[in-house]
Structure 1
Amino acid sequence: MIHVSGYEGAVVNVSCSYEKGFQSSEKYLCKSNCGRNDVLIMTKQPKNNKYSIYDDKKAQIFTVMIFDLQKRDAGKYWCGISLFGNDIYTEVIVDVGQDSCCNSVTKIKSYKKDSVTISCPYESEYQNNLKYICRGARPSICLQQALITSDNKENGRFRLDDDKVSGTFTVNITRLTRRDSGLYLCGVQRNSGLDVFSAVELQVKAIHILVYFLPAPLVIMLIPTVAWIKVYKCTKVRGKTRICTQTHI
């Protein structure tokens, strides 16, 4: 049995090998009971709007491409080889996943010019699998657009460390900028089927804001005081009697 997986809107390849001696035989892909109306594509008519087929006779493999995958394309297919008498069939299972992620998102915050560490947990069965991280929410293109992978643990401001004991890989990002804000996908490549993902949303703030509250008595002490200077101006009236007036500056 052949098992292939793809995302909605993408293309998936179904590769079917055959034994020597069948190079000149007609090859095809079909569904259901593989009757005449169930044949989707064949080598004598190698392309239509949904499928194409190519027979590499030297490698003894024919490959069918299924374009613009949709949920309805998931299910059981058959690789067929036409023979006199009974044809030869190989069962094919196609899985179609939604090209978006994820049901839950972990949110973290940091500040401009600081560093941040993104933690990505995974199941123990994936200890030796490739890990990676990308930006955005589309699993179908995540690996192709990966910022860093476990095969290349340092890339500019990014560093990836894989702790296989705890089942977590971490990605450290240094010298953060506001442009680093957004959604990230942590990916683990699977040997078969669709990769496994978790989502992290990073918010990078502009600056640290520190607010200090001073005790009221201290605030009062810091308020500039006004000095009052009394000035007396006196004039003689009727001999020895003086009349004085007071002003302030």
Structure 2
Amino acid sequence: MKIILTFTLLMIPGVVSSISVTGYSGGGVTIKCKYDEGYTANEKFFCKGQWPECINQIWTDEKDKWVYDGNFSLYDDTRSAVFTVTIRNLSEEDSGTYRCGADIYGRYFYSKVNLKVIRDQPIRSVRGYSGGNVIINYKYEMKHKNHVKYFCKTAADQCFTVINTNRAAGWEQDRRFSVQDDRSAGLLRVFIRDLNENDSGEYQITVKVSEEYSFFSEFNLIIRDDDCCVKSISLSAAAGGSVNISCKYPQSHISDVKFLCWRSGADLCAEETSVKESRRWSPEGKIQLYDNREEQLLTGSISHVTEQDSEYWCGVQSDQGHKSFITRVLIHVTETSSSSSSSSSSSSSSSSSSVESQHLRMCIK
């Protein structure tokens, strides 16, 4: 979980202010230092250690542009009399005391920053497929449940907001992007539909704590167009009968959990059935699944079909809980009449026998 904290520190000549900052390994922190407008032309610095033996991490006289030095970057915004320091790829060794300040003719005016880096497992990357959908799960501490959340795409140290949410439970939608803040679980869900390769890139999930302080998790979204898998399947079934499905998935997901979810209206996954082991059927129910990892094939049966069973999705779930929806399954449900009930019953029985035979063949393999 990449974390960035944003603070505004007021530097008054002769006065040293202090603040504590918490970051997470693999993430980063951003610190905003405000200075007097009379010092816009002076050099700005960010150093580590006790004063006056403070080891410079970054020092520059450049104005209104980003300057980089290793994991550190600095931007001096002379119009706002604020300079911003960002530390990326944090490790526990980055913990310590820092100073951000200005060199005013050999006199250093600064603010003290006490940084503590906590070990964590950040989101590194999420994979999706062209024509499909993806759900990204972001877990946050409960103390942040009432804060506004943002989801945005990053470029050149800037974050272009895609969507934000300021209420619990309900989905906030903007075109192909949706966000749901489940505050009872401390979980932010991001849903992106109709993926294409242009959606690939760096993204951020931001929690705004106050006007001065926010933090975010950054990850890489990778969208591929894999030849192994069809994007959509159309099937037919008689009402009350059964229908069999078969979905291929990429080899890179062999060890992942496979699922089939039912879409109802705007709700992408109203109900979901998953299978976690290879060559084992999921528990009995309306939906039964079987994962043949040798053939990279998810098969199964949907019983007691109704008109509501018009759309399903086959997909995979990573060990961090992110879900990639790969193949859309459209089912055309035909009505049955009393005169054809025996035929429907026979068809249902045949379909059931087909699934049992398929199960037997898979087991023999």
* Structure (1 or 2) with the greater strand fraction: 2
- Taking CA–CA contacts closer than 8 Å with sequence separation of 6 or more, which of the two structures ends up with the larger relative contact order? 1
TM-score norm. by structure 1 comes to 0.46
Give the structure-2-normalised TM-score.
0.35
Larger radius of gyration: 1
